[in-house]
Structure 1
């Protein structure tokens, strides 16, 4: 998907399965799962590919190959509705929740936060409809703070507002926030960086959330 596209219209369709991988091996496994569910159960699936990741091989530094993965074996698939969790530890201060291009961005932000003494785990949703609610609740409770990182527009774009609302309804003691791209069309060239979500935005929002006193 393109950042200029709202996926809110897709999220509003009951029964629609929406898959959005953040890495190549997951893309293969999730597409296989979608094909199986469509053939075996007649499920209608939408597969959202983040164009920003088409040519991305590195994660932290040029040449590190940190976002390059081997091709899965023919029998491998990704379990339907299962999120992927990175770097979970018992002493984490924060849970970062994201999908697609937001996942490597969140991992880069996590590294910067660690340098500032803030420990975070990253939850890659992988499936946007239905969402992996059991894992979301589990990792929200584990840290008590959740930042939902959504590269779509702030209003009516991705799933972040829904996630925050549901987590808060389940546990009002949680400290929750979301960080998104701006509510605007995406300009061409370097001007796009002024409105699209950035790693710096994620770091700043994380620091604000961790420093916020419980209500």
Structure 2
């Protein structure tokens, strides 16, 4: 087992992560948290359970704790890797005005929300130069609903002295196609924000493999 781990580590250090399939990358991570056990079967089981390496990293803490073979040390290691990756991408997304750095913002949103098993609604609050002021989770809901109210959006925007915002939520089904409820909610928030001079640039819906923009679709 020691020899296998050493070879796996050397392949990673010499060839980089692209040289390892998902289960081996996860195996390498689990080796650090579970030093005295063959974790290859566990890594494969987790990839199957959550669908991908990204799915494992994005899984809820409670869900990971319930997975056979994972203790708190391993769960903490998995979530630390996810948090580190998101902070790195978010730092890049915040370097420039959001609208001129859109690909990095989309990358961050995809990493943060694509694999959440319930609907989450967050808002990117922007200043007059469209630089990110705050990234706020407004609602963490159920498998198919995350309630958010226009008055709460406006209240938080005023607290932050925001001039504009971008609405974002995910579809746990994986399909980012806007629903009628999504369109109606967007219209209500846009109308409420317009009354006090706050611009809503877009509403982004995040799916498993892509995103939908209500602005690009002509729905706002």
Q: How does the TM-score come out when normalised to structure 1?
A: 0.32
- Which structure is higher in RCO with an 8 Å CA cutoff and minimum separation 6? 1
More helix, by proportion: 2
Q: How does the TM-score come out when normalised to structure 2?
A: 0.31
* Structure with larger Rg: 2
